[in-house]
Amino acid sequence: ERLSNDFQFIEVGRCDPDKVPARLRKKEFGEIYKPFKQERAAEQSHRCLHCGNPYCEWKCPVHNYIPNWLKLVSEGNILEAAELVHQTNTLPEVCGRVCPQDRLCEGACTLNDGFGAVTIGSVEKYIADTAFALGWRPDVSKVVWTDKKVAVIGAGPAGLGCADVLVRNGVKPVVFDRYPEIGGLLTFGIPEFKLEKSVMSLRREIFEEMGIEFRLNTEIGKDISVDELMEEYDAVFMGMGTYTYMKGGFPGEDLDGVYDALPYLISNANRRLGFEAQESDFINVKGKRVVVLGGGDTAMDCNRTAIRQQATSVTCAYRRDAANMPGSRREVANAKEEGVSFLFNRQPIAVIGEDKVEGVKVVKTQLGEPDGNGRRRPEPVPGSEEVIPADVVLVAFGFRPSPGDWFESQQVATDDSGRVLAPEHHDFPFQTANPKIFAGGDMVRGSDLVVTAIAEGRRAAAGILDYLDV
Ligand code: FAD
Ligand code: SF4
């Protein structure tokens, strides 16, 4: 009777899954959100209004059929919901965990007008996790195999999105990655408290059962040349991400104790996963005063990893104010709860120290005129310099593309900032200047999100299928 109530959203408020209390979770790396129980998932799904023109679907980069699977969950029909969510999304269990829903699907929910958006992300995670636990697997039994095969460079969300669509259409994907596990930044960047590593290893098994082949620990351009791939395969997809670290361009950046964010996070992931080559590769901030520079997702992950490694203190300095932080609001709130101190409107101008870090010199900023992206530019306030004492500085200023050595010989064109030119609106979407090579994800759009990388990988696969005429 309760489930037949169309006004459920009035009686039942938005309720997120339970969180492990901050005092406990800051001592461990496990995921902080507990799974939804069946009843809670059904109740929360039933809050959906089933809008005629669902904005959530439009705002979701893979255009998930959100109200339809919410309805299935409210009826307890999880396996059908799993089938449906996999029609549009390659990694629903991952997106449910790491999408900034407040800026995407949930941000567009009509119930934001005073009632609180439907917990779309948590339900998506619930669908996939529950279906897998029940033994559900994507059904590829009706796939008619062609004789075509495609090399996918990079097992991040873009490469996986592409391989998923190819295999469902009978084209054999062989995915190469230089790392020992699939996932790209999902495994080696995003820490376990947001996305537990067993999620990706289970997904690898599922993909392998579907017919996707992975060749890990294999770097293209080093272990295998692109020329070989071009000869052996009918097409090539590149989803290689962005791995050139942005620098601040101020004195002291090379001092002992200053680390780029990603090597820090990767060293922690390698230790946790048992992939560490030698003990000295591990960057340990236990007992250190840590200053993190930046305000995006990467900075938040550094903050919270440092807390879990038992840093004495963690201070995050960001040059704009809280409202202008690019990181997910949910993760900023989680970082605060776990004990990270935020210093807003502070621009670093130097790292101080003799032969190792002793502090970071910052200047206060005020927001000036909007820049080219419409975001207000931070301007230094003269005479407001101060030094934040530090033993370790983690620099999280973002990433630039890292074009492959072979781009020129293969006529793969890039723009001035190194992003691969692979237009979405093209006869064959995401085709590069070399007709046989397609590309998507961060290396095409610049550092962005997991779900946009998946969306591009999937659309590029559709372009490849057209190009191969299958
Ligand atoms: P990647 O995930 O970078 O994958 C590229 C893969 O290509 C890697 O595995 C790499 O090893 C492989 N590769 C590269 N060159 C070669 C080669 N020559 N041979 C073989 N393999 C190669 N997004 C969110 O939506 N939510 C978040 O919470 C979030 N948090 C983030 C936290 C951090 C610390 C970082 C760095 C990013 C975060 N992002 C987040 C962004 C998101 O992870 C990326 O946008 C997304 O992973 C990009 O996917 P991709 O497939 O294009 O590239
Ligand atoms: Fe929302 Fe991301 Fe899921 Fe789309 S993929 S419905 S944006 S959580």
Q: State the ipTM, two decimals.
A: 0.98
In this predicted structure, the answer to whether residue 320 has a pLDDT above a threshold of 50 is: yes
**Predicted local distance difference test score (pLDDT) of residue 12:** 85
**Predicted local distance difference test score (pLDDT) of residue 5:** 65
Phi, psi of 151 (to 5 degrees): -90, 130
Radius of gyration of the chain (CA): 23
Q: How far is CA 337 from the centre of its chain?
A: 22
Q: What is the pLDDT of residues 99-126, one digit of tens each?
A: 999 999 999 999 998 899 999 999 999 9
Which residues lie with the beta carbon below 6 Å from any ligand 1 atom? 98-99, 153-159, 176-179, 184-185, 189-190, 194, 219-221, 239-241, 262, 265, 297-298, 301, 441-442, 447-451, 453
- Of the pLDDT bands very low, low, confident and very high (cuts 50, 70, 90), residue 373 is confident
Atom of ligand 1 nearest to the CA of 160: 51
**How close is the Cα of 94 to the center of ligand 2, in Å?**
10
Picking from 328, 379, 383, the residue whose alpha carbon sits closest to that of residue 107 is 328
pTM for this model (two decimals) = 0.96
Tell me the best of 190, 216, 275, 405 to mutate to test the pocket of ligand 1, counting ligand atoms within 8 Å of each CB and taking the most: 190
Which residues lie with the beta carbon below 6 Å from any ligand 2 atom? 60, 62, 64, 66, 89, 95-96, 99, 101, 104-105, 120-121, 124, 451
Nearest CA to ligand 2 atom 4: 60
Residue with tokens 């002793």: 358
When the pLDDT of each residue in the chain is averaged and rounded to a whole number, the result is: 95
Nearest CA to ligand 2 atom 5: 95
**How close is the Cα of 68 to the center of ligand 2, in Å?**
14
Picking from 303, 304, 98, 335, the residue whose alpha carbon sits closest to that of residue 195 is 98
In this predicted structure, the answer to whether residue 1 has a pLDDT above a threshold of 60 is: no
What ligand has the least distance to the C-alpha of 69? 2
> By mean pLDDT, which of 136-140, 238-242, 246-250 is the weakest?
246-250
**Predicted local distance difference test score (pLDDT) of residue 4:** 55
What ligand has the least distance to the C-alpha of 220? 1
Phi, psi of 5 (to 5 degrees): -80, 115
Q: Domains of the chain by range and CATH? A: 2-133 (1.10.1060.10), 149-242+401-468 (3.50.50.60), 245-398 (3.50.50.60)
Instruction: Measure the CA–CA gap between 394 and 293, rounded to whole angstroms.
Output: 6
- Of the pLDDT bands very low, low, confident and very high (cuts 50, 70, 90), residue 369 is confident
